[in-house]
Structure 1
Amino acid sequence: MDRKVLEDMLSQGQDNAILRYTLGTLCLKEGMLESALEHLEQALRQNGNHSASWKAYGKALVAAKRDDAARQAYEQGIAVAESLGDIQAAKEMKIFLRRLT
Structure 2
Amino acid sequence: MSVIENFEKMLAAGQDSALLRYGLGSAYLQAGDAARAAEHLARAVAQDPAYSAAWKAYGKALAGDGRTDAAAAAYERGITVAEERGDIQAAKEMKVFLKRLRKQAGGE
* TM-score (normalizing by structure 1): 0.96
Using the TM superposition, give the Cα deviation of residue 48 of structure 1 relative to its aligned residue in structure 2, in angstroms.
0.7
Residues 1:94 and 2:95 are matched in the alignment: yes
Distance 2:70 2:6 in 1: 30
1:5-32 deviation line (CA, Å, top 9, x unaligned): 1111100000000000000000011111
**What percentage of aligned pairs have identical amino acids?**
55
Match of 1:62 in 2: 63
Cα RMSD of the aligned pairs, angstroms, is 1.0
Deviates more, 1:79-88 or 1:4-13: 4-13
Distance 2:17 2:50 in 1: 13
The correspondence of residues 1-101 of structure 1 with structure 2, limited to 5 A, is: 2-101=3-102
Q: Mind listing any 5+ residue stretches in structure 1 that lack a counterpart?
A: none
1:27-83 deviation line (CA, Å, top 9, x unaligned): 011111221111001101100100000000000011111111111110000000000
Distance 1:100 1:37 in 2: 16
Distance 2:22 2:4 in 1: 12
Q: Mind listing any 5+ residue stretches in structure 2 that lack a counterpart?
A: 103-108
Distance 1:93 1:60 in 2: 13
Runs (4+) off by over 6 Å: none
- Whose radius of gyration is greater, 1 or 2? 2
Using the TM superposition, give the Cα deviation of residue 87 of structure 1 relative to its aligned residue in structure 2, in angstroms.
0.2
